Structure formats: C-alpha cells, structure tokens
Amino acid sequence: RKRSAILISGRGSNMISLIAAAKAADFPAEIALVLSNLPDAGGLARAAEAGIAIAAVDHRPFGRDREAFERAMDEVLRVNQIELVVLAGFMRVLTPWFVTRWQGRLINIHPSLLPLFRGTHTHRQALDAGVGEHGCSVHFVVPELDAGPVIAQAKVPVLPGDDEDALSARVLEQEHKLYPLALAEVASGRAVLAGDAVIRR
Ligand code: GAR
C-alpha cells in the first residue's frame, strides 16, 4: 500500500471519502497523513477523529516565499515517508519546484470537466458559459495550473434553475465517488504519468 498524504485547506469532504475507501484491506493506498496549510481547517479535526495523523504548515509566516513554505511541507512529507501526494481542496498554487519534485506522484481533483473552467469559481463559470453538462476531473499535477493530464472524469447535467449551490452539490457527490477510484488507479500503478499523457497498464 502506497503511503499517501492528503493535502487540504478546508472542510475535507473529499478527504473523508478517501479515508473511507482506504479502509478496505485491498485498497492500494494507505492514508498516512493529512496535511493542511491552515491550522484551523475543519478537515484536520475530522481526520484526527478518524485516527489519521495530522500536520499543519501555515503558509502565512512565509509571506511571498512559496518555495520556502513548500520546503517546510516537503520536510513533513519526507519525515512521514510519504510516497503519493493527494490534493483535496488544497487552495495554494504550487511552484514548479514542488511539482517537479513530486512529478507523477502528485494528483488533484478539480471541480470541472478540464480543460474547461480552470481556476476558481468553476460552477459559476459553467453557469455563465451555459453548458449542458459539467463535472469533475482528477489529474496529475504539472507546473501549469489545472493543466495536467486527466486520469478520470465524472459528468453531471446542468439543470434548469441551477444555481452555484445546487450545481456544486451535484458535482461534489460525484467527486466523492471519483477520487477514490482515481487514487486506486495511481497507487496501484494502473495509471502512470508519461510526459503530458496518462498511460494505462
Ligand atoms: C472540492 O469541490 C474540490 O474539487 C475543490 O474544492 C472543493 C473542496 O471540498 N478544489 C478546487 O477547487 C481546487 N482548485 P472538500 O474540502 O469538501 O473536499
């Protein structure tokens, strides 16, 4: 089982679904650590309740020095012998230094059907664009934001009368199913990053 760290900034509902999936004895990843850039992130308490080791590296004292912040996180990952980094609502942009260091071992979930709607407020973006379907993507992280090759996606319809809350709730339900499946593919070596593509074995 691959020793995996989940990185969060908020409530951690995806984190909870990953922890639940990883309880199965045949799941190829073990959630060895939950790490947050915000010491008071709601998800940290939930992880601790679930019996998972937690850590926080507050990004704020590092000011604009993103790489120094990431070196501190990287040290926590090293000490915990982490092999795979799983971003789940982690709201800091990572530098090429960190991304390159973890290349192929760093995945993210993004609440849109990439390459559509990168960045933030993806549900607002989808509603404004008037698309008929929306969803979520799990992808390998590359230095360019939300541009990494997609491992798996799930789609939902956009329904008449949807607002951001209704649409984000519909997508989130799919995120909770999709992320454990995608993590299992990566942790088992069935999905591998090769250049800017995902190879299936
Ligand atoms: C999720 O919808 C995730 O896809 C999104 O933040 C939410 C976190 O919720 N991530 C991003 O927007 C990354 N740029 P959670 O803390 O309940 O898992």
Please tell me the total number of residues recorded for the chain in this structure.
Answer: 201
pTM across the whole model: 0.98
Report the nearest atom of ligand 1 relative to the CA of 88.
18
In this structure, which residue's CA is closest to atom 17 in ligand 1?
A: 13
Q: Could you tell me the distance, in angstroms and rounded to a whole number, from the CA of residue 136 to the centre of ligand 1?
A: 10
Q: How many Å is the Cα radius of gyration of the chain?
A: 16
State the residue for tokens 């982690």: 90
**Residue 12 marked in a binding site:** yes
Q: Quick one: pLDDT at residue 27?
A: 98
Q: Count of CB atoms within 10 A of residue 38's CB?
A: 19
pLDDT tens-digit map of 155-178: 999 999 999 999 999 999 999 999
pLDDT tens-digit map of 114-161: 999 999 999 999 999 999 999 999 999 999 999 999 999 999 999 999
> 117-142 as b/e, with b when 16 or more CB fall inside 10 Å?
beeeebbebbbeeebeebbbbbbbbb
* Residues having CB within 6 Å of any atom of ligand 1: 8, 10-15, 43, 88-89, 109-111, 172, 175
ipTM of the complex: 0.99
157/170 Cα distance (integer angstroms): 9
